A and B are shown apart, each in its own frame.
Chain A
Amino acid sequence: MNNFPALIVVCPLCAALLNLVLNRINEKLGKAVIVLSVAASLIMSVFVLAQVITTGTIHYHMGNYDMPLGIEFVIDTVNGLIVVLVSLIGFLTLLFSDNFGYKFKTRLTKGAANTVLTLLIVGLLGMTLTGDVFNLYVFLEITSLSAYCLIALGGERGIFSAFRYLLVGTVAATFYLLGVAILYGVTGTLNMADMADILNEGGKDQAMLLAICFLVPAFGIKMALFPFHGWQPSAYSYSEAGAAPLITGVMGKIPAYAMFRYLYCIYGTDFKYFNSILVIVGVFSVFGMLYGSIRAIAQTDIRKILAYSSVAQIGYISLGFAIGTPIALCGAFLHMLGHAFMKGGLFFCTGAIRHKFGTVNIEDFGRIYKKMPLTCGTLTIAALSMVGIPPTVGFFSKWYLGSAAAMQGEWIYLAVLVISSLLNAIYFFRLIEKVFINEDKSLKERVYDEFKTCGWKLVLPVVVCFIAILGLGLANVKIIDILMLSLKGVGLC
């Protein structure tokens, strides 16, 4: 029980490496070990979350070193929730990806793809849990490297987008390292809490400003915030179909959480230029929300629609950070949780449709609801949630963001929030129209030679996302209460 925070990361890491060996003995065995390890992470993260809610923030010291010296894992209710989210969607994605094994020619590549997917989960979990700035860099690179591989596995276009992402992503990682170097130069510590204490003594505003000028673009690139989103649409669209839900649903959120930590936990509101930084982040998110939605309207490939819509949705999250009151931060994190299930769910549906009929063009989706009722149910509920129709989670997160903006008197933010939601309605209602009203295209079912599909592994993720979108919406007050335990007193008042 005491070692759960470390085991959450270590279990999947060991399983991922073990898989390379086990895969040579028996293909199923390797996969089973991976799935079990991620399931164990999921269970442990639920326990840790329950413990955090009752007893408060957990500080886990690696190897029992005293604090500024060693590496620390810090778990409060915010990242406790995010860890549950990452391991849940990771678990579902691992099951889901079984159905896309036909793409890999040899057993070795198939096993390696599973290992890389698990390493992506490890990186995301580690980035969320860690309380050490350099440790964050290492996990950031684990995440990035496995993401490059998974995007490159998506075929010819995938390789091309993966290389572009690699260039941009490495620039981001280098900027992050430079920001850390500057902060380390003035504080002499790498521990986040210790660094926050030293920075709060004051007198280091110039160096802090220089560092944040590198850190915001670094996280901006990783989370695909508006002017830095160039790599994102093609990378999300052409990534390997079995891994796409995790990449699109979760990968952009964790750097956003890291940015929150830098802005509010390390820098804090006492920082002299804090409000200017918030305004810059706000401008980025406002333009992103409009740009992403407008570009999404013009697409016909469903993956491209969803990728551009992600540019807009990340804008909502950073808008919450830009408003900066505790209630806005709650809205941002609720949107982070909700959007992971919405976008993940939409990509689970896209993957299922692609698996059955081999198409991703929404023009072909005519009356597809007759053939895949469950999938289309989730598709519809996720689309409605994106637009913000109650009682889905999308409505409530936008409600919290909007009311926080109104309380702060940020009327531009509120107006853009509403306009962006209306633009969302345009392309998501078009999608719903194709699914339910357009004439039947009588698609042919895809036939696989020598490959057995596993039906429940396609259905389970879709159903879980359906329940999660509605559940998070109905239980939003509960979630906000849990988030508030940690966010009270953080941010502007």
Chain B
Amino acid sequence: MINAFLAQDGIYLLTVILLGLGLAGIIVCNNYMKKLICMNIMQVAVIFFFLCLGQKNGGTIPVAMDTIIHAADYINPLPHGLMLTAIVVSLGTTGVGLALLTRIWERFGTLEEDEIIQVKGEDEV
């Protein structure tokens, strides 16, 4: 039963749950490192969503073969190509985020949001 559920729309439900988890984490967590991790979870959720679009029953890898002539028998490679780009982008974002966190750590000695605000003196949101 669970197989049938996942084969239809269930997989989209799972990615939505993952997306919600990431978003909730960014809002709720107090630690900046955890916020960054939740941000990554969100990005991965969308990557999964895209990959689900490229999935097809009975399709084969998109390499032209003599025995298979119909385009419908191949898996659409475009979502995978797009997601390679998205993974690179997410790598870049995480890199910049970690660099910023290092600087915050050097300056404040902590990554907890409330402690930093105490040291810094919150001017406003």
A residues with a Cβ closer than 8 A to B are 134, 137-138, 141, 144-145, 148-149, 152, 156-157, 159-160, 162-163, 166-167, 170-171, 173-174, 177-178, 181, 184-185, 190, 230, 233-234
Tell me the complex Cα distance, A129–B55, Å: 32
Nearest B residue to A156, CB-CB: B107
B10-49 toward A: CB 8 Å interface, digit per residue (1/0)? 0000000001000100100000100110010011011001
Q: Contacts of A149 on B, CB cut-off 8 Å?
A: 96
Tell me the complex Cα distance, A428–B103, Å: 36
Question: Quick one: given A141-B92, A145-B93, A149-B96, are A160 and B116 in contact (CB under 8 Å)?
Answer: yes
What are 21 residue pairs bridging A and B, where the CB atoms are less than 8 Å apart in the complex?
Answer: A134-B85, A138-B89, A144-B93, A149-B96, A156-B120, A160-B116, A167-B26, A167-B35, A167-B97, A171-B42, A173-B89, A173-B93, A177-B86, A178-B19, A178-B49, A181-B49, A181-B50, A181-B53, A184-B50, A230-B125, A233-B124
**B100-A148 in contact (CB<8A):** yes
Tell me the complex Cα distance, A78–B111, Å: 45
Q: A167-B36, A171-B39, A173-B93 are in contact. List 14 more A-B contacts (CB 8 A).
A: A141-B92, A145-B93, A148-B96, A148-B100, A149-B96, A159-B103, A159-B104, A160-B120, A167-B97, A170-B93, A173-B89, A177-B86, A178-B49, A181-B46
Tell me the complex Cα distance, A148–B49, Å: 27
Tell me the complex Cα distance, A144–B53, Å: 27
**B89-A152 in contact (CB<8A):** no
B104-117 toward A: CB 8 Å interface, digit per residue (1/0)? 10010000000010
**A166-B100 in contact (CB<8A):** yes
Nearest B residue to A186, CB-CB: B53
Tell me the complex Cα distance, A234–B117, Å: 14
Nearest A residue to B125, CB-CB: A230
Q: Contacts of B96 on A, CB cut-off 8 Å?
A: 145, 148-149, 166
Minimum CB–CB distance from A394 to chain B (whole Å) comes to 27
B34-89 residues at the A interface, CB under 8 angstroms: 35-36, 39, 42-43, 45-46, 49-50, 53, 78-79, 82, 85-86, 89
